[in-house]
Amino acid sequence: MSPQKPTNPPASPPVQDDASRRRFLGLSTALVGGGALAWSLPGCTGGTTTSQPPGGGEGHEGVATGHEGGSKTHVAPGKHDDYYGFWSGGQSGEIRILGVPSMRELKRIPVFNRDSTTGWGQTDFSKALLGGRSVGDTHHVHLSYTDGTYDGRYVYVNDKVNARLARVRIATMEVDKIVDIPNSQGTHGIFPQRHKTGLVLCNSEFRTPMPNDGRDLDDPKKYAAMHTAIDGETMEVKWQCMVDGNLDLCATDYTGDYSFACCYNSEGGVTLEEMMAADQDWVYCFNLKAIQAAVDAGKTMTVGDSKAPVVDARGGDNEFVQRVPVPKSPHGVNISPDGKYAVMCGKLSPTVTVVEISRLADVFAGKIKVADAIVAQPEVGLGPLHTAFDGRGNAYTSIFLDSVMTKWNIDKAIAAYKGEQVDPIVAKLDVHYQVGHTNASMSETKDADGKWLVALCKFSKDRYLPVGLQKPENDQLIDISGDKLDLVHDGPAHPEPHDAVIVRKDLISTLQVNDRTDERFRMYEAWAAEDGIKLMDDSKVIPKGKGLRVYMTSQAPKFGLTEFRVKSGQQVQVIVTNRDNVEDLTHGFAVSNHDVNFIINPQDTQSVTFTAGKPGVYWYYCTWFCHAMHLEMRGRMIVEA
């Protein structure tokens, strides 16, 4: 399955990197297993490099001075950024929204985490969605599509630690759905279909026994991974495709025919040494229509307690999957904006592999070998991870070990692979340090505009004031509107912004007051109908079993109830509706000494259930400044013995 060997392009002059930085990092990676290779940071070749020493500096070709960078990223007071940036929050379990190019943080959306600011994880609706779990690990954030570009409806994000997919409704910038992914651990790469808001494909990174119910614990040959399809509208699991190997990053084409999954550990090992034995791995290409046909025909199985139909595609190439051979440990797979090419990065090789997607139909039909779909393998640097695009035929690949962003031309890479004497490398730029994900403005759509590129660096080292044992990460903004890569901004980031997308502001439209159409309002309306209450009008205490249900309106500067009485140990459910119809006139509801604090936005309803403490008077109050008499907006919860 080895691809044909490309003809090497003409040699490029060595890059003159800053030696002190290389010595400072002092990183080397040793490959163990079949054939030991030792790599160290020095030495990447090709193209024109622009370099910046650790402390910044001026006068380096292609690197902006502080004045130039500031002018490019400055957004004047009262003015808006041109782009929304959606950043994953990593171990925090959240999504962050930044303005680009200012890189100002605008909002944090709690997803899988407990958030005291909003009460997410404590409110009744969010507790039900989270299912008793309070940690998350968000890695990849992607927006819903229609006809190859963002449609402004949803944001999807994974939870790697608990195998979940969440959806944020863009109109409110709040989570409205979370689904558990069965038969999966380490759900990592996700990607929505791009031709419409259809399936969201999700990869399970960790192989487990199938079913994982205590059998086959010590027989890794019986372990497998799942490529899961979730309906982006209903957030229901539609099917799963079971394959060999660990699945990493995910991508989809622009037509709805294929999805892709990087696969490392083709050996099926469970230790590092076992995972490094082979010389290469592969990227799976999933034939979505063939899989759906098998599901429709009932040619499926179920695994464990899940009722999701499972198509078994293990054992090699077949009608459901084809394996594209790539260098060892592929990590990233990205699709060019014209939909023609899939760019696959093997992180333990200096090359990337380019596949012409239109050839895959002949591969599945058995007319050509899968290696014949490979059209380029340019050498871009040591440790390539992810690739972004500018819509002008250029690609930008993040190089982890070299701490470099490499700009290369796709057409020239294809020509070089055919044997033409042409160098596809256009330019390189040092970034600081160990860049992971990268993305460009609108890069993952047919409307890639080639204005901004972000490098999400894992380490900042000496870039900022020291803040203790753990330093911030470093988001670096690069101007790619010209021929050179121009570093214009450093931005410290709370760990760990794993991935990001940059979206034109005209594609995003949010509500100013709640339209009350989300699913949770059906829950509140059902409760109110049961109790004969009008949420927008009534404030009343309703006995419910051995506890109380307290309905309360809020309108600046007063709650609809200024007191209510409960018994010590009683369960209390407080349901608060914000009657204010003014943009950003938010209220909060907090109960002293009861660990209760949540937000109620304009025309919104939220609720929390808790247990009344020991006898006494406990003030509840509004936590969000809403009026000149804000401090007086409060009431008493009187707890009787």
Contact 230, 238 (CB under 8 A): yes
Tell me the residue length of the chain. Answer: 641
Q: Is residue 5 predicted with pLDDT exceeding 70?
A: no
Average pLDDT rounded to a whole number, residues 417-442 = 97
Residue 4 has pLDDT above 90, yes or no: no
Whether residue 1 is predicted with pLDDT greater than 80 in this model: the reply is no
- Better pLDDT: 267 or 541: 541
Instruction: Decide if 354 is inside a domain.
Output: no
Last residue of a domain, one of 277, 308, 326: 326
In this prediction, residue 272 has a pLDDT band, given cuts at 50, 70 and 90, of confident
CA 123 vs CA 91, 156, 205: distances in Å:
22, 21, 32
Q: How many CA atoms lie within 13 A of 235 on its CB side?
A: 20
> What is the three-class DSSP state of 85?
strand
Q: Which three-class secondary structure state does DSSP give residue 9?
A: coil
Q: Which domain holds residue 312?
A: 181-326
136: its two tokens: 């998350």
Over 90: is that where the pLDDT of 347 sits?
no
Residue 603 lies in a domain: yes
Burial 454-476 (b: 16+ CB within 10 A, else e): bbbbbbbeebeeeeeeebbbbbb
pLDDT of residue 546: 92
- pLDDT exceeds cutoff 90 at 43: no
Binned at pLDDT 50, 70 and 90, residue 62 comes out as: very low
Average pLDDT over residues 520-543: 96
Q: What is the pLDDT of residues 485-496, one digit of tens each?
A: 999 999 999 988
Task: Give residue 390's identity as a one-letter amino acid code.
Answer: D
Q: What span, in angstroms and rounded, lies between the C-alpha atoms of 619 and 641?
A: 17
Does 206 map to a domain? yes
pLDDT at residue 496, rounded to an integer = 87
Q: Is residue 244 part of a domain?
A: yes
Least confident of 273-282, 295-304, 433-442, 551-560: 273-282
Share of the chain above pLDDT 90, in %: 82
Does position 33 have pLDDT exceeding 70, yes or no?
no
User: In this model, does residue 59 exceed pLDDT 80?
Assistant: no
- Sequence-distant (6+) residues with CB within 8 A of 543 are 549
- Of 224 and 12, the structure prediction assigns the larger pLDDT to 224
Q: Is residue 306 part of a domain?
A: yes
CATH number at residue 559: 2.60.40.420
- Whole-number pLDDT of residue 68: 62
pLDDT in tens, 158-201: 999 999 999 999 999 999 999 999 999 999 999 999 999 999 99
What pLDDT does residue 276 have?
82
Q: Strands of 212-365 (E only): list them.
A: 223-231, 237-243, 246-252, 258-264, 280-287, 310-312, 321-327, 330-335, 341-346, 352-356
Last residue of a domain, one of 300, 326, 352: 326
CA–CA dist 500, 485 (Å, integer): 19
Instruction: State what percent of residues in the chain have pLDDT above 70.
Output: 89
- pLDDT averaged over every residue in the chain: 89
534, pLDDT greater than 60: yes
How many domains does the chain contain in total?
Answer: 2
- 18 — pLDDT class (breaks 50, 70, 90): very low
Query: Tokens 């009343």 appear where?
Result: 540
Which pLDDT value is given to residue 79? 95
Decide: 604 and 584 in contact? Cβ < 8 Å: no
Average pLDDT score over residue span 39-48: 37
Report if residue 230 sits inside a domain: yes
Residue type, 295: V
pLDDT value for 418? 97
The backbone torsions φ and ψ at residue 457, rounded to the nearest 5 degrees and listed phi first, read -90, 140
DSSP code of residue 301 = B
Give the model's confidence band at 58: pLDDT under 50 very low, under 70 low, under 90 confident, else very high.
very low
Measured in degrees and rounded to the nearest 5, phi and psi for residue 71 equal -70, -30
Q: Which long-range contacts (CB under 8 A, 24 or more apart) does 286-289 make?
A: 286/201, 286/227, 286/241, 286/258, 286/259, 286/260, 286/261, 286/313, 286/320, 286/321, 287/257, 287/258, 287/319, 287/320, 287/321, 287/322, 287/364, 288/199, 288/229, 288/256, 288/257, 288/258, 288/259, 289/257
* pLDDT over 70 (residue 549): yes
Predicted local distance difference test score (pLDDT) of residue 279 = 81
437 within a domain of the structure (yes/no): no
Residue position matching structure tokens 């944001």: 155
- Choose one of 306, 326, 346: the last residue of a domain: 326
Q: Let me know if residue 368 belongs to a domain.
A: no
In 3-state terms, what secondary structure has residue 293?
helix
The structure tokens listed for 14 are 């060595």
Say what the pLDDT of residue 277 is: 80
